[in-house]
Structures are given as structure tokens and as C-alpha cells.
């Protein structure tokens, strides 16, 4: 959700504090007492994507939870009246904000990628096991629930139960994003809903700018066009609104990016770091509401990331390929190879590789060869001609055409495979966003059997649209490859002022 704003705020403020020459006593005060997590240790195995230089990838996680750090519900009236966020049962442990920030080794422009929360992808647990296909925001909640049930059955209770369950959620989120984008994650920071409100209280008013007037009863947003000075309650409404916006959730993502820019602009331009009262309030909030990885060295990070507070950050929203219904929910369809190509082109890295079973291998494109297999497509979707159309699309991607026929209606699309066809089945499963493919003795060797269900929606044509990097692993171009301006979802947001958004 909106919460990445205060995450970036907390990190940026720590950087400026160090860069401005505040004493070591102040530094030790800031760095001690922080909430830390070892979740990164779970995803750093041999299959993790590798760096080609000393750049840093930081994942900002905004947790849409109406709970405190110990799992207690926030006060009901506070959630309803100040957060305007419904009851404490809403939101659960979904990560409604995911922003990957790439900080170059040479201190150049910081590139940030917002991942839309409803992107339908293969999600993972921290140990690399697949959860199946879900909205990317649900990876945390799925792992949290499984861990909570397991630890509770073992007699774990209270704050310890909450802490261990959230750690599983963090591991799953990190593993899922790293696999989805195929870039390594070096550090992360997580904040929940309360943290945003607390920091907005310290720094109020926050200036933002809107292109059009808005009024939304769900979020409580009620603003005119132009520049606005927001109190904490209004700031939360600003970054939570999605109803009544042309781009829905995507416009809300742009609001989050604009808010980060506005807060960073205020930190730099209005003397916050010479106001000891505000500094103490700011870092009290950081210690209470922020979780960072245990390997996070604030001083070392500051030396690489001064541009985070210098207005040299560009926020991009990763594109979607359309909308569909999966598991009875509205989701964003995504072109995985295209997204990986865009991200890796902009940050100057080559795609990572993984031999992990069920890792969501990209569907065949111009740069990914179709694995050898004959594909049979059975139509249980109830949609006339769906099997023939899908077989034609798969044949165009390089698979050998098998048979098509109708079969008994079913709800979900499945992928089965015979001996020797596992890799092709994985590729096709990822293309269709199904559960992991299943080996079946009833499917002939070298064949993949796709059974279309009622949830079937023909996926968009795949294929990377950005230039390929050099194939020489010993070279690395530190400058980003050109990416078309329309490759992203909406306009990119540049930090360094008060950007106007929808």
C-alpha cells in the first residue's frame, strides 16, 4: 500500500543525517535499537541472481496490516477515524507496496521500479518451494499463515509467534520478487500502516499536487486540483485512493511515488535536519515502526546512496499486459520476459538463472527458446475455439502441434506432461499462469497436455521489446540501455520537487 513512502523517508533521513556530519554519538543513537530481520539469509543460495558490480538493490515493502509489531490490533477508533482504513480485519498481511530501488555503484541516477500489487505471478516461500500462482502481494500473507499455523501448533504464542510468522512472510516476499525480476536483492525495509501515519505526524504538513479534483468515500480523499498541504489523515487518504481514478491501482502507485518525492523534497529544503525536535520524533518512529535487514550497514549504505536524497531518483511503474480473473479474483496479467528485460536493461544487469524446480521460467520469446515438446490442448473452458487458438499460439512460439479436442468442463486450467517434457511444461505453465505442471503417466513421452478451464484467458503475445545486452559475461555497460517511454504503466515520476499526478 502507501507505506513505502515512510520507508523511503526513514532511509533517506538516515542518509542525510550521516552526510551532514552529525556526531558519532547521534549515529549510534540512530542505528541502535532498530528492528532487524534475518530474512535475506533464506534466499541467498546458489540459485540466487548474481551481481556484476557493487551496485545495491533495495526492496521497500509496505505491509497493509492494521496490527502493531506484536500482532495486536490497532485501536478500532484510530483505524476507523484517523486511518479511514476500515476494521483491523482488513488488509491482513498483504504487501500492497513493493518498490525495488537500484543504487548504482558509481553513485549515479537511482532507478526505482514499483511492482503493481495485483500482478499474477508464481510466488515462493523462503526455502524456494512454490506457493503456486497468486497476486504478488499475497506471497507474504500465504507464508505468514502457514508459519503461524505451524508454530502455533508447536505451542509458540504471543509476540514470538507473530515475529516468527512475519519473518516467514518477509522471506517469501523477497524470494518472490527476486525470482520475478531476476535481480538480486541486497537490502530491504518494511513498514506497516501505523508507521506512515506516525511519520506524517512528525513532518506535517506534506505538500502534494493533483492534476484534477478528487473525492472518494472509501479512502476519505477530498481534494481540489493543484497544490495541497496535507495533515496525517489527509496524507494517508492521498496515497490510499484508487476508486474514482482512471488508472485505479496504477494511479495509486503514482501517488505513492509522488508522495515519496514530496517528503524527500521537504527533508532537503525545509531544514528538517537542523530541527532536533523533529529529528528525535522522526527516529523514534523509525525505531518503532521500521524493520530492516540485519546486514544493513547505515554508514556503508550512505556512502553509496547519497542520490536518494539529492533529487536524482526516477520511479517507474512496471507494465501489465491486461486484466483477468484467477482464483475468483481480478488480477493483472504480466509478460514476465518483457518485464525482466526492461528491468535488467535499465540497471545494466544480465538475467539471472535458476535451476530451481517450478521457478516460473519465462514463456518462450525472441530470447528464450521453446523447449522441445508436442503440445495437445483440450478445451474444458466452454469457450468455442479456445483450444485451437491456443495451440496455434503455442505452435508459433516453437512447440510442435499435437491434437485438440473438447473435454468435460472444469474450473481451472492445468498442465500435465510426459517423460522428457518437463521444461516445456514449465514454460507453458508460466505463460498460462497455472499451478505448477504435473507429471502424468497418461501423457505420452515428449508431450505436454494443456487442459483449458473456465479461468482461461488467452495471454498476450510475449517477447522482450528492449535491446539485448552484450552476451559477454565479462563485460558490463554501466549506462542503461534505452527503453521506450511507453514501456511502463503511466508516466514515470521524477524526484526533486512536488510532481503533479492524477
The structure's pTM equals 0.72
Residue-wise pLDDT tens digits, 221-262: 899 999 989 988 888 888 888 888 888 788 888 888 888 888
In this prediction, residue 470 carries a pLDDT of 32
CATH number reported for the structural domain that contains residue 197 in this entry: 3.40.630.190
Instruction: For residues 247 and 184, state if they share a domain.
Output: yes
Lowest mean pLDDT among 131-140, 294-303, 376-385: 294-303
Instruction: For residues 444 and 318, state if they share a domain.
Output: no
In this prediction, residue 312 carries a pLDDT of 75
Query: Percentage of the chain surpassing pLDDT 70?
Result: 73
By DSSP bridging, strand 400-406 and strand 414-417 are unpaired
Mean pLDDT of the chain: 78
Q: Is residue 473 part of a domain?
A: no
Q: Is residue 150 part of a domain?
A: yes
Q: Is 220 left (phi over 0), alpha (psi -120 to 50) or beta?
A: left
CA nearest to 101, candidates 249, 264, 235, 321 = 264
Q: Is residue 359 part of a domain?
A: no
In this prediction, residue 301 carries a pLDDT of 57
Instruction: For residues 228 and 301, state if they share a domain.
Output: yes
Cell of residue 219, nine digits: 479512502
Cell of residue 140, nine digits: 507474504
By DSSP bridging, strand 329-333 and strand 322-326 are antiparallel
Instruction: For residues 495 and 445, state if they share a domain.
Output: no
CA nearest to 3, candidates 83, 88, 87, 75 = 83
Quickly state the pLDDT bin for 367 (edges 50, 70, 90): very low
Instruction: For residues 431 and 486, state if they share a domain.
Output: no
Q: Is residue 64 part of a domain?
A: yes
CATH number reported for the structural domain that contains residue 419 in this entry: 3.30.70.2390
Instruction: For residues 347 and 436, state if they share a domain.
Output: no
Cβ neighbours of residue 301 under 8 Å, at least 6 residues apart? 11, 15, 56, 187
Q: Is residue 364 part of a domain?
A: no
Instruction: For residues 184 and 119, state if they share a domain.
Output: yes
- Whether residue 93 contacts residue 63, with contact meaning beta carbons closer than 8 Å, is answered with yes
Instruction: For residues 345 and 384, state if they share a domain.
Output: no
Instruction: For residues 158 and 243, state if they share a domain.
Output: yes
Instruction: For residues 209 and 280, state if they share a domain.
Output: yes
Q: Is residue 128 part of a domain?
A: yes
CA nearest to 388, candidates 443, 455, 450 = 450
How far is Cα 502 from Cα 213, in angstroms, rounded to an integer? 9
In this prediction, residue 87 carries a pLDDT of 52
Q: Is residue 360 part of a domain?
A: no
Instruction: For residues 164 and 209, state if they share a domain.
Output: yes
Cell of residue 273, nine digits: 535536519
Backbone angles phi, psi at 207, to 5 degrees: -90, 130
Q: Is residue 458 part of a domain?
A: no
Residue-wise pLDDT tens digits, 167-223: 999 999 999 999 999 999 999 988 877 777 777 788 888 899 999 999 988 888 899
Over residues 469-475, the mean pLDDT reads 35
Cis peptide before 451 (omega within 30 of 0): no
Range of the domain at 116: 4-352+482-501
Instruction: For residues 334 and 380, state if they share a domain.
Output: no
Question: Of the candidates 452, 469, 492, which is a domain's last residue?
Answer: 452
Q: Is 76 exposed, middle or buried (0-12, 13-18, 19+ CB in 10 A)?
A: exposed
Element (H, E) at 450: strand 447-452
Cell of residue 27, nine digits: 549515529
Domain count, the chain: 2
Q: What does DSSP assign to residue 196? A: H
- Whether residue 308 contacts residue 15, with contact meaning beta carbons closer than 8 Å, is answered with yes
Residue-wise pLDDT tens digits, 25-40: 455 555 667 788 999 9
- The SS3 assignment for 225 reads coil
Amino acid at each position: 500500500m502507501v507505506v513505502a513512502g515512510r520507508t523511503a523517508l526513514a532511509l533517506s533521513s538516515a542518509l542525510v543525517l550521516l552526510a551532514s556530519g552529525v556526531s558519532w554519538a547521534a549515529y549510534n543513537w540512530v542505528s541502535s535499537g532498530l528492528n532487524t530481520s534475518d530474512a535475506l539469509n533464506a534466499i541467498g543460495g546458489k540459485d540466487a541472481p548474481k551481481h556484476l558490480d557493487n551496485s545495491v538493490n533495495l526492496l521497500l515493502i509496505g505491509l497493509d496490516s492494521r496490527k502493531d509489531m506484536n500482532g495486536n490490533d490497532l485501536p478500532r477508533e484510530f483505524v476507523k477515524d484517523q486511518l479511514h482504513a476500515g476494521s483491523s480485519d482488513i488488509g491482513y498481511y498483504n504487501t500492497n507496496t513493493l518498490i525495488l530501488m537500484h543504487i548504482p555503484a558509481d553513485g549515479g541516477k537511482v532507478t526505482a521500479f514499483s511492482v503493481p500489487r495485483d500482478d499474477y505471478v508464481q510466488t515462493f516461500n523462503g526455502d524456494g518451494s512454490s506457493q503456486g500462482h497468486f497476486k504478488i502481494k499475497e506471497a507474504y500473507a500465504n507464508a505468514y499463515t502457514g508459519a503461524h499455523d505451524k508454530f502455533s501448533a508447536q505451542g509458540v504464542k504471543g509476540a514470538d509467534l507473530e515475529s516468527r510468522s512475519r519473518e516467514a512472510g518477509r522471506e517469501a516476499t523477497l524470494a518472490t520478487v527476486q525470482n520475478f525480476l531476476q535481480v538480486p536483492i541486497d537490502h530491504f525495509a518494511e513498514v506497516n500502516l501505523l508507521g506512515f501515519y506516525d511519520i506524517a505526524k512528525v513532518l506535517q504538513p506534506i505538500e502534494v499536487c493533483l492534476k484534477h479534483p478528487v473525492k472518494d468515500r472509501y479512502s476519505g480523499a477530498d481534494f481540489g486540483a493543484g497544490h495541497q498541504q496535507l495533515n496525517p489523515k489527509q496524507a494517508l487518504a492521498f496515497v490510499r485512493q484508487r476508486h474514482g481514478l482512471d488508472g485505479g491501482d496504477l494511479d495509486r502507485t503514482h501517488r505513492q511515488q509522488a508522495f515519496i518525492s514530496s517528503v524527500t523534497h521537504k527533508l532537503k529544503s525545509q531544514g528538517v535536519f537542523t530541527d532536533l525536535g523533529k529529528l528525535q520524533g522522526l527516529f523514534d518512529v523509525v525505531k518503532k515502526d521500521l524493520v530492516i535487514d540485519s546486514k544493513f550497514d547505515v554508514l556503508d549504505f550512505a556512502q553509496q546512496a547519497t542520490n536518494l536524497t539529492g533529487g536524482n531518483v526516477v520511479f517507474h511503474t512496471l507494465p501489465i499486459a491486461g486484466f483477468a480473473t484467477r482464483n475468483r479474483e481480478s488480477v493483472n496479467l504480466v509478460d514476465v520476459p518483457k518485464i525482466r528485460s526492461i528491468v535488467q536493461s535499465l540497471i545494466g544487469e544480465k538475467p539471472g538463472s535458476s535451476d530451481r524446480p517450478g521457478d516460473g521460467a519465462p514463456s518462450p520469446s525472441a530470447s528464450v527458446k521453446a523447449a522441445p515438446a508436442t503440445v495437445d490442448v483440450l478445451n474444458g473452458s466452454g469457450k468455442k475455439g479456445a483450444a485451437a487458438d491456443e495451440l496455434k499460439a503455442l505452435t508459433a512460439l516453437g512447440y510442435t502441434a499435437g491434437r485438440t479436442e473438447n473435454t468435460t468442463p472444469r474450473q481451472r486450467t492445468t498442465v500435465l506432461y510426459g517423460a522428457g517434457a518437463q521444461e516445456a511444461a514449465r514454460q507453458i505453465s508460466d505463460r498460462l499462469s497455472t499451478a505448477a505442471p504435473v507429471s502424468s503417466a497418461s501423457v505420452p513421452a515428449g508431450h505436454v497436455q494443456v487442459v483449458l478451464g473456465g479461468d482461461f484467458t488467452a495471454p498476450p503475445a510475449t517477447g522482450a521489446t528492449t535491446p539485448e545486452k552484450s552476451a559477454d559475461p565479462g563485460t558490463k555497460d554501466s549506462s542503461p540501455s534505452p527503453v521506450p517511454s511507453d514501456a511502463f504503466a503511466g508516466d514515470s515520476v521524477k524526484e526533486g520537487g512536488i510532481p503533479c499526478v492524477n
